[in-house]
Amino acid sequence: MRLDDLDPSSNAQDLGRGGGGGGGGLGGLLGLLPLLMGRKLGCGTIVIIAIIGFFIFSGGGGLGLSGGDGPGRPATGGSAETYDTQAELFSGRVLASTEQTWAQLLPGYKPAKLYFYDQNNQSGCGAAQAAMGPFYCPTDQGIYLDTSFFNQMEQQMGAGGDFAQAYVIAHEVGHHIQKLTGIADDVRQRQARVSQEEGNQLQVRMELQADCYAGVWAGQNRDRLEPGDVEEGMTAAHAIGDDTLMREAGKRPVESMFTHGTSEQRMRWLQRGMQSGDPKQCDTFAAQSL
């Protein structure tokens, strides 16, 4: 994707290396890891964390690889050098582009913050563990990103390329849109009144809508797409489908535990957003079939 003419967003902050802290939130749950872990390491580790996410799901807006959304201290810290790697610079440009696009689509749009984090940083949603994968925290309206996740996507999930990375960020921005429109709060309230299984079904619709919004951003910036970008997006959407992640973890996919949608659904909604460039096409809550 061609974004080099854009200045990176001024809404990013590097949280630097976290000192101490940790422990709470998901961090504590990582102790369960050996119990749940099969023979697989590496990608399996992420996948297991995703599975843990299914169990402790509480409505957070991760990409499919995180489940944390507990109480925690607000993010603090930061360093003067916001963009100190190419991956961070690219992420900042993606964010800047999403800001331009959504300012046009959503009057009064207020941008999300992008926090580059490392192990042991805190977020408004609890410990931001590097292994958790990127996530959106509604409490502080921040997107938390450890760019080493991009390497994991490429090397362990076969989902490389700059557009795969852009999709990850645009998906989290999609959750920010849901926060701004009130959909996120509405869903959270409905989830509190229904069973875990119905709550998961609502979450799937949330996640697929975020995928669709990511597609809308791409569709609105069609002129910046390069050959191969659409395929990179589709490959990434496939790689982080619930059924694929569970299979990769050596588990039989169980639909009632899905929180992000199948690979096929994620690809379909990303594509729907891309082709239309229209957020109105992203009403996953009204859709009869996903």
Which tokens sit at 157?
A: 């999930």
Residue 134, CA distances (Å) to 2, 16, 200, 239 in order? 23, 16, 19, 15
44, 61, 67, 142: which one binds Zn ion (CB under 5 A)? 61
Binding status of residue 207 toward Zn ion by CB under 5 A: yes
x-marked contacts with Zn ion along 62-81 as a string, rule CB under 5 A:
-x------------------
Which tokens sit at 231?
A: 């395929």
x-marked contacts with Zn ion along 106-145 as a string, rule CB under 5 A:
----------------------------------------
Cβ within 8 Å of residue 146, ≥6 positions away: 116, 117, 118, 128, 130, 134
Task: Tell me, rounded to whole angstroms, the distance of Cα 171 from its chain centroid.
Answer: 5
- Closest contact distance (angstroms) between CB of 284 and Zn ion is 12
- Closest contact distance (angstroms) between CB of 212 and Zn ion is 12
Return the number of the residue (172 or 248) whose C-beta is nearest Zn ion: 172
Binding status of residue 146 toward Zn ion by CB under 5 A: no
Q: How many residues bind Zn ion (CB under 5 A)?
A: 4
Return the number of the residue (50 or 63) whose C-beta is nearest Zn ion: 63
Return the number of the residue (61 or 233) whose C-beta is nearest Zn ion: 61
Q: Which stretch binds Zn ion (CB under 5 A): 26-34, 57-65, 223-231, 232-240?
A: 57-65
CB 201, CB 187: distance < 8 Å: no
Residue of 119, 227, 140, 162 whose CA lies nearest to 4: 162
Return the number of the residue (63 or 234) whose C-beta is nearest Zn ion: 63
d(CA 187, CA 203): 8
- Closest contact distance (angstroms) between CB of 62 and Zn ion is 5
Scanning residues 83 to 102, which ones bind Zn ion (CB under 5 A)? none
Return the number of the residue (44 or 138) whose C-beta is nearest Zn ion: 138
Q: Which stretch binds Zn ion (CB under 5 A): 53-61, 106-114, 180-188, 219-227?
A: 53-61
Which tokens sit at 146?
A: 């450890």
- Closest contact distance (angstroms) between CB of 61 and Zn ion is 5
Q: Which stretch binds Zn ion (CB under 5 A): 28-36, 89-97, 187-195, 203-211?
A: 203-211
What residue ranges bind Zn ion (CB under 5 A)?
A: 61, 63, 207, 210
